[in-house]
């Protein structure tokens, strides 16, 4: 079992080669990328200690992304399920509609600091693409978004946002035409243009520096939540923090400030899509997109195809940081099917005013399974990390309606 280092933030638990727990992460990349990622690492380490930069980040988070996202109790759902208290950290209320807004904004700020004029990113559900396009526009950067053609058609509203913001959306038609291929193509673009382009990897995946930047950015969520919990409960109560996992960027942000707590005090629960679930189905460790991670492969080691209604979860790999959290026993992982996620959406939207996208609907599904088994004194918080409008068409196809 891997032991987590106390008082060392999760992203900094790696060795000098970028490995977490001697097993996850690393920098499996072409020689051409070595110097650019080394430069980026140096820049990031400098910026994260730079007061002026932090002030700028906070300014953007507050005035551009709209500041603290709400935290509230779902009274009706709590009553309906009759067990634990259910609370919602509604990250989808951010300007940008998902946690990817933090990550995209920080990447655009770093790109600006690096002096590069071009920024490129991958996207599956389109939330990162959309936010990166908007941040690039705001900061006067030329933006390219790589997206699988299957995702371009199923997440059309977000594609429109990207194009309206002036980004070039590059359709990726290889392989399964989803996120995994978009990330590969975006990395190829970076290998060919690393002299003038900043690579913004869309989740906490990729070579060491990319996942660090991502998880550092989204950790804004848990900084806020910690304060909100203390305000509401006077202390950090006994908690279960439930979050959906695709690559795992929102969960890392949602959990970051709580990793040092005992798991009996703050339990971390990740929910994958049933047929894209490397962490909850005992997948092997594999090298994908520059890092060792739990990843679905076939016997020969080829990367496996995944299936999920949710474009954001349709990815065979997982963040190396989730590998670390799993193997250290700090977090536990489960999964939910398309059907279960849809049923969760149905129930939640009937009882409450939130409209989760398909991704957090998976987290809600686990919440619905779990809450009735718990006591009233138990507190569940779900990260409602994305707004449902982008999946309106899919919800209508599957359920016959989309709630007002």
Partner 1 sequence: MKNSINNAFKIAKKENRPALISYTVCGDNTKDKSLQILNSISKDLDIAEWGIPHNCPTADGKDIQNSSYRALQNGIRLNDIFKLVKKFKKTKPSKPIILMGYYQMIFNYGERKFIQKCKASGVDGLIVVDLSFPDNKNFAKLCKKNSICFVQLIAPTTTVKRMREIIKSSHEMIYMISTISTTGSALKYSIKKIIKNYNVIKRIKPSKNVVIGFGITEKTISNLKSADGLVVGSAICREITRSLKGRQNPVTNVSKLVRKLKNKII
The answer to whether residue 191 forms part of the interface with partner 1 (CB under 8 A) is yes
Cβ-in-10-Å burial (0-12, 13-18, 19+) of 12 comes to exposed
The answer to whether residue 31 forms part of the interface with partner 1 (CB under 8 A) is yes
The answer to whether residue 35 forms part of the interface with partner 1 (CB under 8 A) is yes
Task: Out of 287, 343, 347, 351, name the contact with partner 1 by CB under 8 A.
Answer: 287
Q: Which residues does 61 contact at the CB level (< 8 Å), separation at least 6? A: 67, 102, 105, 220
The answer to whether residue 22 forms part of the interface with partner 1 (CB under 8 A) is no
Q: Is 94 helix (H, G, I), strand (E, B) or coil?
A: coil
Q: What share of the chain is helix, strand, coil (3-state, %, to 5)?
A: 45, 20, 35
CB of 127 to partner 1, least distance (A): 23
Taking CB under 8 A as the binding criterion, the range among 26-34, 85-93, 330-338, 390-398 that sits at the site for partner 1 is: 26-34
CB of 328 to partner 1, least distance (A): 22
The answer to whether residue 136 forms part of the interface with partner 1 (CB under 8 A) is no
Which residues within the stretch 288-307 sit at the binding site for partner 1 (CB under 8 A)? 288-290, 292, 297, 300-303
Q: Are 258 and 239 in contact (CB under 8 A)?
A: yes
The answer to whether residue 184 forms part of the interface with partner 1 (CB under 8 A) is yes
Q: How many helices (H) and strands (E) does the chain have?
A: 15, 14
Render the burial of 83-112: b for 16+ CB within 10 Å, e for the rest: ebbbbbbbbbebebbbbbbbbbbbbbbbbb
* CA 33 to chain centroid: 24
Task: Out of 42, 59, 284, 376, name the contact with partner 1 by CB under 8 A.
Answer: 284
Taking CB under 8 A as the binding criterion, the range among 25-33, 146-154, 217-225, 260-268 that sits at the site for partner 1 is: 25-33
Q: Are 140 and 165 in contact (CB under 8 A)?
A: no
Q: Which residues does 302 contact at the CB level (< 8 Å), separation at least 6? A: none
The answer to whether residue 27 forms part of the interface with partner 1 (CB under 8 A) is yes
Q: How many CB atoms lie within 10 A of CB 308?
A: 27
Number of residues near partner 1 (by CB under 8 A): 35
Rounded to whole angstroms, the Cα distance separating 3 from 113 reads: 36
Task: Out of 108, 187, 213, 221, name the contact with partner 1 by CB under 8 A.
Answer: 187
The answer to whether residue 276 forms part of the interface with partner 1 (CB under 8 A) is no
Which residues within the stretch 148-177 sit at the binding site for partner 1 (CB under 8 A)? 174-175
Rounded to whole angstroms, the Cα distance separating 56 from 352 reads: 36
- Of 29 and 229, nearer to partner 1 (C-beta) is 29
- Of 170 and 287, nearer to partner 1 (C-beta) is 287
Taking CB under 8 A as the binding criterion, the range among 94-102, 108-116, 180-188, 237-245 that sits at the site for partner 1 is: 180-188
Rounded to whole angstroms, the Cα distance separating 302 from 236 reads: 44
CB of 90 to partner 1, least distance (A): 35
Distances (CA, A) of 281 to 268, 278, 318, 335, 361: 17, 6, 12, 9, 20
Task: Out of 45, 58, 195, 397, name the contact with partner 1 by CB under 8 A.
Answer: 195
Which residues within the stretch 106-125 sit at the binding site for partner 1 (CB under 8 A)? none
Rounded to whole angstroms, the Cα distance separating 246 from 318 reads: 7
Residues in the chain: 404
Taking CB under 8 A as the binding criterion, the range among 58-66, 191-199, 249-257, 347-355 that sits at the site for partner 1 is: 191-199
Which residues within the stretch 36-55 sit at the binding site for partner 1 (CB under 8 A)? 36
Closest CA to 89 of 276, 244, 273, 285: 244
- Of 91 and 186, nearer to partner 1 (C-beta) is 186
Taking CB under 8 A as the binding criterion, the range among 21-29, 72-80, 100-108, 241-249 that sits at the site for partner 1 is: 21-29
Contacting positions for partner 1 (CB under 8 A) = 17, 26-36, 174-175, 180, 184, 187-188, 191-195, 284, 286-290, 292, 297, 300-303
């Amino acid at each position: 079992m891997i032991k987590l280092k106390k008082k060392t933030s999760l992203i900094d638990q790696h060795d000098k080669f970028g490995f977490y727990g001697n097993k996850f992460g690393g920098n499996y990349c072409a020689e051409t990328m070595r110097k650019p990622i080394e430069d980026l690492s140096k820049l990031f380490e400098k910026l994260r200690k730079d007061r002026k930069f932090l002030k700028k980040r906070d300014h953007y988070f507050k005035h551009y992304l709209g500041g603290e996202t709400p935290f509230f109790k779902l009274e009706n759902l709590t009553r309906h399920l009759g067990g634990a208290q259910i609370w919602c950290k509604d990250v989808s209320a951010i300007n940008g509609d998902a946690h990817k807004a933090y990550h995209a904004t920080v990447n655009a700020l770093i790109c600006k600091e690096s002096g590069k004029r071009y920024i490129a990113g991958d996207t599956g559900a389109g939330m990162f693409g959309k936010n990166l396009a908007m941040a690039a526009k705001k900061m006067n950067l030329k933006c390219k978004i790589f997206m699988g053609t299957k995702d371009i058609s199923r997440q059309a509203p977000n594609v429109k946002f990207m194009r309206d913001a002036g980004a070039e959306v590059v359709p990726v038609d290889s392989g399964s035409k989803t996120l995994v291929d978009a990330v590969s193509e975006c990395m190829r673009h970076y290998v060919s243009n690393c002299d003038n382009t900043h690579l913004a990897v869309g989740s906490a995946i990729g070579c060491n520096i990319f996942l660090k930047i991502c998880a550092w950015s989204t950790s804004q969520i848990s900084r806020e939540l910690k304060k909100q919990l203390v305000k509401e409960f006077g202390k950090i109560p006994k908690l279960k923090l439930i979050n959906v996992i695709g690559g795992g960027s929102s969960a890392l942000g949602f959990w970051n400030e709580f990793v040092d707590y005992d798991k009996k005090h703050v339990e971390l629960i990740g929910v994958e899509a049933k047929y894209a679930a490397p962490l909850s189905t005992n997948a092997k460790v594999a090298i994908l997109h520059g890092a060792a991670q739990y990843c679905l492969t076939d016997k020969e080691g080829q990367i496996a195809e995944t299936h999920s209604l949710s474009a954001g979860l349709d990815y065979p790999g997982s963040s190396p940081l989730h590998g670390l959290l799993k193997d250290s026993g700090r977090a536990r992982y489960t999964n939910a099917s398309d059907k279960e996620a849809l049923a969760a959406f149905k129930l939640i939207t009937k009882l409450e005013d939130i409209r989760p996208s398909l991704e957090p609907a998976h987290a809600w599904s686990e919440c619905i399974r779990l809450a009735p088994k718990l006591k009233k004194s138990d507190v569940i918080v779900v990260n409602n990390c994305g707004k449902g409008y982008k999946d309106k068409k899919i919800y209508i196809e599957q359920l016959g309606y989309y709630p007002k």
